[in-house]
Structure 1
């Protein structure tokens, strides 16, 4: 299986392709050179034979002396000599190759180059005029050309083999250069699919491969961002779902233990129904996230009577605060105060801030839920009698986990999500949230400014500091 995968790899394909191209080039070059070597070898032998003829032609006495003794020119090539006299006759061992046309050419002072047969062998024929108005002819067997050709062709084999090996090596290096970043990218993609994040693919290699690495790095960042948003959403829902569960459980236990009886039962039932409806909304958010319809809080914008919503929240939180000995108070106008917003999210915002305040408020101290009109919008406040906030606390109050980490082991703290969720909710609602270190009750004060409708400006938060509360219940 590994062999099959290797054969099908990009590096193997590149090596195979480059080797095949190199082999084709070697074959074509070899065929062309094979033929050219024969031609070049013959040309070189003719040139050498012609130069020897010219040397002898300049010393006719030496040529005549050799001819008188029927001498052959020394050497392994078996070169033979013929002299053409001015009278037109030819003498010597090579005289048989001097025909009429060649004789006339030499006697007229022209060089002569031809191929002929002598003593049953094919020979090269080179002739030059002499200074005595005759000519000199040398012959050399064609076997000398064959020997030279074989030597040249033998010397050609090694370069061709080296060229083929070099092409295969270059293909291997190229394949490795291309395949290595691709293999790294593939390995990273598998790790990303396995859930790992924070991976970085080196942007190396050709431009296309580097672009792939950049795309994978971008994908890693996008996946991490998306998963963080989903994780934050799940954590926020888990955090928020505890409030209605606690309320519903408290009333259910009160009904089961017959603590709530008579005329109080319908009110308890209504509160239970309201809290269960809130739980259904949270479950709906989770289902929407599971279907990838959204990874954030959904908004249902309608006209909302904040006075009625505050009264509803006060009923639930009065019951929540009583077991802790906390003095819960509500301040509301007791008349309709309508804004265009998402009532469910405003209630979620109130519950989150009240949950945070209840955690730090000691028994016997107040926890106040206040509502008042502010221009054409509304102002919601959660004030407590707890330890309050310092100026440094206010700077990081809405950062996830900042206060929780700072005061862990010093005062009661939660998971560090409540205030971050509150800030997120107010932003989604087009509202603003601010924190003050000291409320009239001695603890912290969180103020939410709700505009008359999303997208409109919120009131100036400076007026919150001079507000004198009036206890209504």
Structure 2
């Protein structure tokens, strides 16, 4: 029982039962009050009509034949003589004030609270003196209304049972699609994919089912990209490892000797550096995704940082015959950011641009504000490489997306650089985008809030 009450169906049924019970109890109490009040009001009207009719008799003896009819309605009949004596079956219900009022010619219509009972009383004077009194205890009026009240209470009890049964069925109807949705969610959590989520029930449950289906699709897409990325990275690791093992075996077997050793050593160093770059990129991405890295924002001169970065890459431009160009406005470009992280982003973008740009084509590093005092600083890295399509731009900052798409077709890095850059720019409070460059290739645009 306790376990059932812990379910949605159990709690809903219990709540509906409690609400229905309270409603029926209140309705019963209100019905009892209304029935009793209505019965008393009807008794007053009846007694008033009969008293008016009797008051028109010329003498007390003329209405004795009405005694039986009054008794069938539970009324008591009493007569007041001209000298104030009260006789009849209802004499004990007539008080002294009523007698005095009738003798003075007044009609009386009231409810009298007696020592043992409350009485409804109607009294009328007669034309020849004296008067007639009709009275009926309220307890008898309510007793006469009791059968009607009992039938009403039985009807309310039937309604209560019906409400509880209907509530239980409603609770089952509401909880059934939620149970199915929870089962689908458990299957997703267990690693199953392409789980069919049955849509049904209220609109909110349908919305949850649709959201769960969208989550399933997103997980499949994300995990597919992760598998593809891991396969690509594994392939990239295998290439330098194969070279390292081959040269190491050659050295161990004595195949490489003399002057060849230095060349082999340089090759081993280059391949080791390549592996080291892969590992550093992976560690950097892991720290970024877990938010486990610091951002120290302070006012810095972005122009100075960009000049230092450009100077560091001049040797690569010269060696590859690339026409590099730095475009900066006069004066400082003050921005409140982390200078080290900004340099990291710019270095990564320049490395990508220099990798894909052929000999003789340009690479441009530019920075500007759109207007004096503009709150946005824009940094662009443009190249004359093969560029990116609209489909490429849509996934350019997804880790490994361009790497998997262009591996073997154009020079690629680890597949992590753009993803790292996008996360860093986001943490710096800016945004990064890519578009076609005037130089023919791609233009990566970083926008940062200026100081």
Normalised by the shorter chain, which TM-score bucket? 0.5 to 0.7
User: Taking structure 1 as reference, are residues 75 and 35 closer, same or farther at Cα in structure 2, changes over 3 Å only?
Assistant: same
User: Taking structure 1 as reference, are residues 94 and 283 closer, same or farther at Cα in structure 2, changes over 3 Å only?
Assistant: closer
Helix, strand or coil for the counterpart of 1:157?
A: helix
Q: Structure 2 length normalisation: TM-score? A: 0.56
Asked if structure 2 preserves the Cα contact closer than 8 Å seen for 1:397 and 1:419, the reply is no
- Correspondence for 2:407: 418
Q: Any gaps of 5 or more consecutive residues in structure 1?
A: 310-331, 351-369, 382-393, 401-414, 430-453, 462-473
- Correspondence for 1:53: 51
User: Taking structure 1 as reference, are residues 121 and 172 closer, same or farther at Cα in structure 2, changes over 3 Å only?
Assistant: closer
Helix, strand or coil for the counterpart of 1:372?
A: coil
Helix, strand or coil for the counterpart of 1:373?
A: coil
- Correspondence for 2:98: 102
- Correspondence for 1:19: 17
Asked if structure 1 preserves the Cα contact closer than 8 Å seen for 2:361 and 2:385, the reply is no
User: Taking structure 1 as reference, are residues 60 and 349 closer, same or farther at Cα in structure 2, changes over 3 Å only?
Assistant: farther
- Correspondence for 2:223: 227
- Correspondence for 1:465: none
Q: Which of 348, 352, 360 is the matching residue for 1:373?
A: 360
Q: Structure 1 length normalisation: TM-score? A: 0.54
Structure exhibiting the larger radius of gyration computed from Cα positions: 1
Q: Residues 189-268 of structure 1 correspond to what in structure 2 (within 5 A)? A: 189-197=185-193, 205=202, 220=216, 223-224=219-220, 226-252=222-248, 254-255=250-251, 259-268=255-264
Partner Cα separation in structure 2 for residue 16 and residue 23 of structure 1: 10
Partner Cα separation in structure 1 for residue 191 and residue 410 of structure 2: 26
User: Taking structure 1 as reference, are residues 210 and 216 closer, same or farther at Cα in structure 2, changes over 3 Å only?
Assistant: same
User: Taking structure 1 as reference, are residues 24 and 460 closer, same or farther at Cα in structure 2, changes over 3 Å only?
Assistant: closer
User: Taking structure 1 as reference, are residues 278 and 170 closer, same or farther at Cα in structure 2, changes over 3 Å only?
Assistant: same
Residue 145 (structure 1) shift: 1.9
- CA shift digits 1:437-464 (9 cap, x unpaired): xxxxxxxxxxxxxxxxx99957447xxx
Partner Cα separation in structure 2 for residue 101 and residue 395 of structure 1: 104
Partner Cα separation in structure 2 for residue 74 and residue 125 of structure 1: 13
Q: Residues 110-259 of structure 1 correspond to what in structure 2 (within 5 A)? A: 110-113=107-110, 125-130=121-126, 132=128, 134-140=130-136, 144-165=140-161, 168=164, 171-172=167-168, 175=171, 179=175, 183=179, 186-197=182-193, 205=202, 220=216, 223-224=219-220, 226-252=222-248, 254-255=250-251, 259=255
Asked if structure 2 preserves the Cα contact closer than 8 Å seen for 1:115 and 1:125, the reply is yes
Asked if structure 1 preserves the Cα contact closer than 8 Å seen for 2:12 and 2:171, the reply is yes
Asked if structure 1 preserves the Cα contact closer than 8 Å seen for 2:285 and 2:416, the reply is no
- Correspondence for 1:64: 61
Aligned residues: 357
User: Taking structure 1 as reference, are residues 228 and 287 closer, same or farther at Cα in structure 2, changes over 3 Å only?
Assistant: farther
User: Taking structure 1 as reference, are residues 428 and 99 closer, same or farther at Cα in structure 2, changes over 3 Å only?
Assistant: closer
Asked if structure 2 preserves the Cα contact closer than 8 Å seen for 1:94 and 1:139, the reply is yes
How much is the aligned-residue C-alpha RMSD, in angstroms?
5.5
Helix, strand or coil for the counterpart of 2:313?
A: strand
Q: Any gaps of 5 or more consecutive residues in structure 2?
A: 292-308, 326-345, 365-382, 396-403, 419-433, 442-451
